[in-house]
Amino acid sequence: MALSDQLPRGEIGQMRSKWGWFVALGVAVMALGVIAAGNLMIATAASVFFVGSLMIVAGVIEIIHAFGVKTWGSFFLWLLGGILYVVAGYLAFINPLLASAILTLFLAASLVASGLMRIWMGIKGRQVLGSWGWIVAAGVVTLLAGLIIAAGWPVNSLIVLGAFLAIDLIFQGASYIAFGLGLRNA
């Protein structure tokens, strides 16, 4: 299905005039991905600092929210949750190696769980889904990725997060470029 079939004519016209910006954004994001791939340890550190920053911001918001809660029991739970988030974010800045190891282990566990769930859903839905084999195959790939990351842990925690960031930036950049070129041809 073509892009012009999915969007109203007015939106395509407005977006089509900006196709070059999408391509430029894609090139910039893809270049950042290549730079990240060039030094995975720095990209991992950037990922850890980003997650730490988000945890600090979320913790501060929870602390502020705690003062809006009327009951004391809820107040202390929200306050404690916010404080723990701020402390965890702070620790990510103080010890990024430990934070990257914890995040890498969490990523491996998440991939294993997600892969097992996909395999189970594919097998369970094979009577209904015509493409259940693809779901099972995707689950196997996800499961294997999680197991490979877990098998190399904690040594690989210096590069895994950076590799995921680099791969994501490269594919995101490619998708912006494709979208921009698709707009130009729409």
Over residues 38-53, the pLDDT tens digits come to: 999 999 999 999 999 9
Contact of 42 with 62, CB cutoff 8 Å: no
Bond before 96 cis per omega within 30 degrees: no
Q: Tokens 């103080």 — which residue?
A: 94
Spell out the residues 6+ positions from residue 76 whose beta carbon is closer than 8 angstroms to its own. Answer: 66
Name the pTM for this structure: 0.75
Give CA–CA dist 169/28, Å, rounded.
9
State the pLDDT at residue 85: 95
Model confidence at 95, pLDDT cuts 50, 70, 90, reads very high
3-state secondary structure the chain: CCHHHHCCHHHHHHHHCCHHHHHHHHHHHHHHHHHHHHCHHHHHHHHHHHHHHHHHHHHHHHHHHHCCCCCHHHHHHHHHHHHHHHHHHHHHHHCHHHHHHHHHHHHHHHHHHHHHHHHHHHHHCCCCCCCHHHHHHHHHHHHHHHHHHHHCCCHHHHCHHHHHHHHHHHHHHHHHHHHHHHHHHC
State the pLDDT at residue 42: 95
- pLDDT by residue (tens digit) across 121-164? 999 988 887 788 899 999 999 999 999 999 999 999 999 999 99
Spell out the residues 6+ positions from residue 114 whose beta carbon is closer than 8 angstroms to its own. Answer: 139, 142, 146
Give CA–CA dist 37/50, Å, rounded.
17
